[in-house]
Amino acid sequence: MKVALVGIFPSGAKEMFMELLPAEKFQIEIVDTQEKYDNLTDAEVIILRIFKINKEVIERNKNLKFIQKWGAGFDTIDIEAAGKRNIYVANAPGANAYAVSELAVMHILAVYRNLILQHEAMKKGEWTKNSYTDRSYGILGKTVGLIGCGSIGKGVAKKVQAFGATVQYYDAFRMNELEEKSLDMKYVELDELLKTSDIISLHLPLTEATRNLINKEKIELMKPTAIIINTARGGIINEEDLIEALKNNRILGAGLDCISNEPVQPGDPILEAPNVTLTPHIGGTSADLLVHMVPLMAENIINFEKQQEIKYVVNKEYFTA
Ligand SMILES: NC(=O)c1ccc[n+]([C@@H]2O[C@H](COP(=O)([O-])OP(=O)(O)OC[C@H]3O[C@@H](n4cnc5c(N)ncnc54)[C@H](O)[C@@H]3O)[C@@H](O)[C@H]2O)c1
């Protein structure tokens, strides 16, 4: 079975896939440049990271049967086109939840303690010890509102609870009472969450239903001391509205790992927004992620080859047969 590793993978990933997918069954091809990708026509399985899979790629690879996405987000794949050709698309939710949830907490702390402003000032030899006291906060005693509460949201909940926060969540699928109780989380509707949370953190996919979910009208509901963290996807927040809110001090700040236009270009208005902490979509990017991610994906591919059930299929509803 021909498996194409498409995209840029952390070092060691290729070797780990080769170790876990036996050579007598799987021929692994490395497709790490656009040119190689444009010439790829015979993949049966694609393991995808960073690059995109559109209709054209699907049509070009006539033998393609299975796309395994690295990570949870699958908005870079035309899952409908894949489904209509009976190509399974699976993601790997949960494997990078620890890394993304840690990054979300890093953004909360960075925004709350004005880390970037303090760091930049001190690098210039300025002592800003008392400059930001009135806009510095701790997590202890705050209400954290999670929008989307799957693997990553639950990871954030656990961490901020350890800091002494209370957690409430909004999700398209409410947990049962027992689970809510065991995780010590309260379900609230979206508007209620926005009105009552000190820290709002997004952990849901970008879909047509969630695009611009956080817009001017929703920001208006937030407390003036609220902060918003987006480690999910750019596009879920209407960035123009967020920038305006930050400029007008309508909210305290924002921490963004994901922005609308990635990769960032010089002159992007988000770069001029005040009180914002930015990282270049690194939530699921760390050297130690391999050991969590690769075995889960390799197992799925082995099961697929054995015609056994594969996990985390995200496009079943589009299958024609
Ligand atoms: N920053 C990064 O590098 C990075 C890395 C991994 C994942 N992500 C993003 O984080 C998101 C969450 O990842 P996860 O592993 O927790 O996924 P998950 O599937 O475990 O959880 C997503 C949650 O969102 C909920 N949801 C879906 N649509 C919704 C809607 N319209 N309204 C409310 N809730 C909705 C789902 O019910 C689910 O509980 C991913 O979709 C991905 O976009 C970012």
Q: Give all domains of the chain, ordered by start, each with its CATH number.
A: 2-94+287-318 (3.40.50.720), 97-278 (3.40.50.720)
What is the Å distance from ligand 1's center to 209 Cα?
A: 13
Judge residue 197's burial from the number of C-beta atoms within 10 Å of its C-beta, 0-12 exposed, 13-18 middle, 19 or more buried. Answer: buried
Q: Give Cβ neighbours of residue 249 (< 8 Å, ≥ 6 apart).
A: 224
Q: Could you please report the per-residue DSSP string of 245-308?
A: HHHTTSSSEEEES--SSSS--TT-GGGG-SSEEE--S-TT--GGGHHHHHHHHHHHHHHHHTTP
Specify the residue with its C-alpha closest to ligand 1, atom 18.
150
- Look up 233 and say whether it is catalytic: yes
Specify the residue with its C-alpha closest to ligand 1, atom 20.
150
Annotated active-site residue in 59, 220, 262, 272: 262
What is the Å distance from ligand 1's center to 310 Cα?
A: 20
From first to last of its 321 residues, the chain has per-residue pLDDT tens of 999 999 999 889 999 999 999 999 999 999 999 999 999 999 999 999 999 999 999 999 999 999 999 988 899 999 999 999 999 999 998 889 999 999 999 999 999 999 999 999 999 999 999 999 999 999 999 999 999 999 999 999 999 999 999 999 999 999 999 999 999 999 999 999 999 999 999 999 999 999 999 999 999 999 999 999 999 999 999 999 999 999 999 999 999 999 999 999 999 999 999 999 999 999 988 888 888 899 999 999 999 999 999 999 999 999 876
For residue 265, the model assigns a pLDDT of 97
Helix (H, G, I), strand (E, B) or coil at 166: strand
For residue 130, the model assigns a pLDDT of 97
For residue 213, give both structure tokens.
């979910």
- Look up 262 and say whether it is catalytic: yes
For residue 11, the model assigns a pLDDT of 87
For residue 321, the model assigns a pLDDT of 66
Kindly state if the Cβ of 171 falls inside 6 Å of ligand 1: yes
Kindly state if the Cβ of 92 falls inside 6 Å of ligand 1: no
Give residue 256's identity as a one-letter amino acid code: L
Annotated active-site residue in 49, 107, 281, 305: 281
Nearest Cα to Cα of residue 78 among 91, 92, 89, 93:
89
Q: How far is CA 160 from CA 156, 167, 188, 308, in A?
A: 6, 8, 18, 39
Specify the residue with its C-alpha closest to ligand 1, atom 2.
283
Kindly state if the Cβ of 231 falls inside 6 Å of ligand 1: yes
Kindly state if the Cβ of 72 falls inside 6 Å of ligand 1: yes
What is the Å distance from ligand 1's center to 203 Cα?
A: 5
For residue 77, the model assigns a pLDDT of 97
| Nearest atom within ligand 1 for CA of residue 94 | 15
Kindly state if the Cβ of 106 falls inside 6 Å of ligand 1: no
Q: How far is CA 45 from CA 40, 55, 255, 318, in A?
A: 12, 16, 36, 19
Can you give the length of the chain in residues?
321
Specify the residue with its C-alpha closest to ligand 1, atom 17.
150
What is the Å distance from ligand 1's center to 35 Cα?
A: 31
